[in-house]
Each structure stands twice: as C-alpha cells, then as structure tokens.
Amino acid sequence: MNSVVLALYGFAIFFMIFWLGMWIVHILAIIAARWKLHKKINKVSTYEVPLPGVSILKPLMGVDPNLYSNLETFFTMDYPLYELLFCVEDESDPVLMLVNKLIDKYQNVDTKLFIGGCCVGVNPKINNMQPAYESAKYELILISDSGIRMKEDTLLDMVNYMTDNVGLVHQLPFTYDRNGFSATFEKIYFGTVQSRIYLAADVLKINCHTGMSALIRKSLLDEVGGLKTFGTYLAEDFFYAKSLTDRGWKITVSSQPALQNCGNCEIHTFQARLKRWAKLRVAMVPTTILLEPLSECFVLGACASWSASLLFDWDSLVFYLIHILLWFMLDWTMLCVVQNNPLPINKLEFLFGWILSEATRPYLFLQAVLDPLIQWRSRVYKLKWGGVAEEVKAKVKY
C-alpha cells in the first residue's frame, strides 16, 4: 500500500471519527437542554439571606421599533434590589428621548443615564460602558445588550446560578418570537447550531461565552484592572470569561435563554453578524479555520459519506441522505426544547429556513476568512492573532 493510499485511509478515518464526535455533541447538547433550560426558580429573598443587589449596564446606540418595549421589561422585573445604568455615547442620539421617557414613567426604579463614554481602548461597547461601570454600586454587574428582552423573573434566575464558585452567569443566545422569514431564519440559527455548541461547551467546561446578557462579579474584574482591561479586544466577552476561568472560577449558563428582540430584522444584516463573529473566532482560536467548516452538516456529511464508501464500501448517496435527515431531526428537536413553547413556525417553514442556514454558512465563513476587516456600525477594525483589535481608516460600506 503506497503512501497516497495510506493518506486517503488516514483522512477517511479522521473524517469518520470527527463525524461520530459531532453526533455525540448533538446528543449531549439535547440532554443538557432538557436538564438545564427552563427550570423552576426556587430561590427567594428572605430577611436572613437577602438577594444581592445588581447593577445593570445597558449600552445603547440608535432606536429600533422594539427598543422601547425591550427596555421597559428591565423596569418591571420582579427583583428587590437593582439599578439601571444606561450608557449612550452620542448626546444627539435619539435613544436619549426614549430612555428619559421610561425614567419619567418608572420613577421608583433606581436609574442613571451616562452620556459620552470614556475612551479606554478600541472597543466602542466598553468605551460606552466605562463611566457606568465605575459608578456601579453593587457587586454583581449585568451587561445586557440593547436588543434583549427580559421576563419578570429572568434576573432572579441568573442570580440563582451565581453560587460561591461561579464568577459569571450567562444566558443561552436565543430570540423572542417575531413575524417574518428573517426572524424565522434567526430563530433557527440560534435554536440549532448555536444552542448545540453553546450547551455542549457548557457541559464540557469550554469557554463559549457571548456577552449579550452576562452577570459578573465586579470584584473579579477589578482584580485585573476592571472592564477597561479588555478594551483592546472586540470580543471582550470571550476574554473576560477566559480571565475568570484562568483563575479557577466557573462560568455557567442560566436556565432562561436570552431573548433577542431587535426590531430591524433582515437576513443580510444577520449574515453580516455571522461573518463578524466568524472573523473574531478565527483570530482568537486559529484552529477554527479547519474545524468549523468541517462541523457543518452538508460539508461533514460529504466527507463522512466518502469515508464510509472507502472504509466500509457503503453507498455514499444513501449515507449522505440519512445523515442529513438525522441532522435535520435532531436540530428540530433542539429548537423545540430551547423554545419550550409552541413554535411560531411549522415544519415546512423550518425546512426552508434550515436548508438556507446550513447551505449558506460555509460560504459566509469563507468570506469571513478572505476579508479580515471587521465593520462594526460606522467603524472598521483589523484583528491581530490572539484577538487584539486596532481601528483602521477604511471606506465603510452601507
């Protein structure tokens, strides 16, 4: 057997092992979802053991149709002690009028508004939040993106997971029910591939944290210089989570998923987010260049089908079709578990959205690798290996 044949068999064995590993990830994630998500909250505040106060940092920029209702859910939470710290970079931003309207409506809620930010790095989100972070009066900090919608007991659920050995509690990224195919497309992505990797990583204690809704111990950030320490990164959420795990602290996913409810929902803008996230992952974890495309359903199925044909003389087409069918069924199961309520879509809508999502992600990943610049709103950044970012002057595409 010559070297070429040996190499082919080596690749075939690798693809088959990787294929089996991805099915283990599928099953592990579904078990984790059923075990952990949507659990009943038992912890309540008592005189002897009061619930800790929470400072909620809300970085804002611009207004979308759902923003008012999203922000209002933070004023109506059933939690005894918290403050809302709104952060707005530009004093001419129309979001200020909206925030002031809510402050006037809910005068019983402890609220402060910070305008102008403070330049401590290249990350605009951290620059925007820095003054509020320095003024936060409670030990627990909740960093929450503008598009997040809260249930009355969401904050209580997150605090419930902040046990003595936990330094960070984050929510599984998901979406609130909205109308339209673009919303369906987003829900399918977050309820399938994102949930699968996120929950499996949580079980395996791998840092897969996204910062759209995260509860953190402020003292642990202060030990390394505070939030501004991570201003050199665009993926600040990954690096402050890494800072905690490197010091022996645990991070964990809470029971309730994060309900993203942005009012501007379009497929091309969401795909731009996917490409930006892919660029960040490649810069932070270079092995992503090889492993992430291989983990996609259609790509992995093709590789595994070729492997099965070579190793076991199985019909590659039949193997490929069965692979896609099983992947589809497990993704539908995962989405139903994460939703925990009747889905706003039927199986036919899911089929179309799922095929589009699975078919386009490898192409989007290739685009992300070939174009290293990251566009974030009106700014353009270049990433260095390790995730450090620098702002560059480039023509912004609209």
Q: Rounded CA gap, 335 and 130, in Å?
A: 36
Cα 128 to Cα 63, 90, 113, 120, 213, distances in angstroms:
16, 9, 11, 9, 16
Q: Rounded CA gap, 359 and 19, in Å?
A: 18
The length of the chain in residues reads: 398
DSSP letters of 266-329?
Answer: -HHHHHHHHHHHHHHHHHH-TTHHHHHHHTSHHHHHHHHHHHHHHHH---HHHHHHHHHHHHHH
Q: Which residues of 7-32 are buried (b: 16+ CB within 10 A; e: fewer)?
A: eeeeebeebbebbeebeebbebbbeb
- Start-to-end CA distance of the chain, whole Å, equals 56
Q: Rounded CA gap, 89 and 116, in Å?
A: 4
How many Cα atoms within 13 Å fall on the side-chain side of residue 5?
A: 3
Q: Under a CB-based contact definition with an 8 Å cutoff, are residues 59 and 147 in contact?
A: no
| E strand or H helix at 353 | helix 347-370
Asked if 237 is an active-site residue, the reply is yes
Give the residues across from 59 on adjacent strands.
Answer: 87
- 138: its two tokens: 């409670």
Catalytic residue among 145, 157, 237, 331: 237
Q: Rounded CA gap, 189 and 248, in Å?
A: 32
Q: Under a CB-based contact definition with an 8 Å cutoff, are residues 111 and 122 in contact?
A: no
Q: Rounded CA gap, 389 and 382, in Å?
A: 6
CB atoms within 10 A of CB 161: 20
CA 26 to chain centre: 18
Residue 213: what are its φ and ψ, rounded to 5°? -155, 100
- 225: its two tokens: 């210089």
Catalytic residue annotation: 237
